[in-house]
Chain A
């Protein structure tokens, strides 16, 4: 009787974990898709950029300490990424920014819990990293454009 109960519980637990895994994978795929779309939105610089979502940084946030659920914030990261490409693309109409962006190949979007920033851009070699305070309001194209202007 006890063994049966245990088997039922273990099986139910595995199914739940499996279901959660699929949902999480889908959410992660949606975030990666949003990053790919952001890259496609940068049309006027005459070159292609790779936009990468920094999963290591996202997973590395101290979610337990923040009292937040990692899975619940993926949809808001999709929203945050939605305007990234448009923001960077706005810079391409200016020849000076286009020239500065010519040196950039990869744009890394990095989630942070740093309340002191909205979006902050840092350039290292051919990579522009955009740190975003992920728990504020949804970011607009203007936020990314301004952050990039502060760094380029």
Chain B
């Protein structure tokens, strides 16, 4: 039995060694413009050889592939399929991509094509939410479309990231009642919650449109309760810096 295990291990190591790629291989793929293949195989470079140049090649390849998807003259559906094939695998293999601004911006551009399909057919809010993770910039108008799509499938607080981006794009989004709900719901969550910065930014951007609902909610919150209600902590941070210091703000946001 031990011998069998050893044989398997040896054969696996041999196979891995045979499959290993060098940096020169990756550079060749880059020169050939075989960005998809490069992205697929870059993890076969031995960890000890994964230098800053390796990361650079991976980043550049990912961006090229995303740009190809964004600009592909083919159908939006084909673009969506390519995106599904690329994004989860690439982000799983090369975790550093999820923190790379250029990559995330590229993902935002590519995602805009998928959004077009979803806006027509609906039912892909969760999918968009998953693919769009980490993106903070979309082509103008896309964030609002995503917010609308995601609002069909998600709780209001889970949509606040897209609503905040939509309001950054165009303050007209502030008039949408779904943005209002997303912000208010998120402001009720514990401080430091994932979407809090987005909710507070949107509350500031859309202050005039949301003011009455913020005031209503602030008014209903019990300032004597301990622990202090999350809404008071989260909303006061915004409300104190917008408009006059009213009777209500003095009472609830000392």
Contacts and interface: CB of A to CB of B under 8 A. Distances in A.
Contacts of A84: none
A72 to B, nearest CB: 25
Interface string B214-244: 0110010000000000000000000000011
Contacts of A151: 244, 246
Contacts, number: 40
A100 interface: yes
B10 to A, nearest CB: 72
Interface string B10-36: 000000000000000000000000000
A142 interface: yes
Contacts of A146: 212, 215-216, 219
A149 B248 contact: yes
Nearest to A143: B212
Interface in A74-95: 94
Contacts of B251: 96
Contact of B175 (A97, A116, A149): A116
A116 B208 CA distance: 8
Given A116-B175, A142-B216, A150 B247 contact: no
B211 interface: yes
Nearest to B239: A150
Interface in B200-218: 208-209, 211-212, 215-216
Give chain A's interface secondary structure class.
helix
B209 A150 contact: no
A51 interface: no
Nearest to A121: B212
A149 B219 contact: yes
A87 to B, nearest CB: 12
B209 A116 contact: yes
Contacts of B219: 146, 149
A97 B250 CA distance: 12
A10 interface: no
Given A96-B247, A97-B247, A100-B247, A149 B215 contact: yes
B212 A119 contact: yes
Contacts of B216: 142, 146
Contacts of B208: 116-117
B1 to A, nearest CB: 76
Contacts of A110: none
A132 B9 CA distance: 77
B171 to A, nearest CB: 9
Contacts of A38: none
Nearest to B217: A146
| B247, B250, B251 interface centre (most CB from chain A within 10 Å) | B247
Nearest to A151: B246
Given A115-B175, A116-B175, A147 B247 contact: no
A147 B212 contact: yes
B242 to A, nearest CB: 10
A1 B209 CA distance: 63
A6 B175 CA distance: 53
B96 to A, nearest CB: 43
A143 B213 CA distance: 10
Interface of B: 174-175, 208-209, 211-212, 215-216, 219, 243-244, 246-248, 250-251
Given A97-B247, A100-B247, A146-B216, 14 more contacts: A96-B247, A96-B250, A115-B175, A116-B209, A120-B212, A142-B216, A143-B212, A146-B219, A149-B215, A150-B243, A150-B248, A151-B244, A151-B246, A152-B246
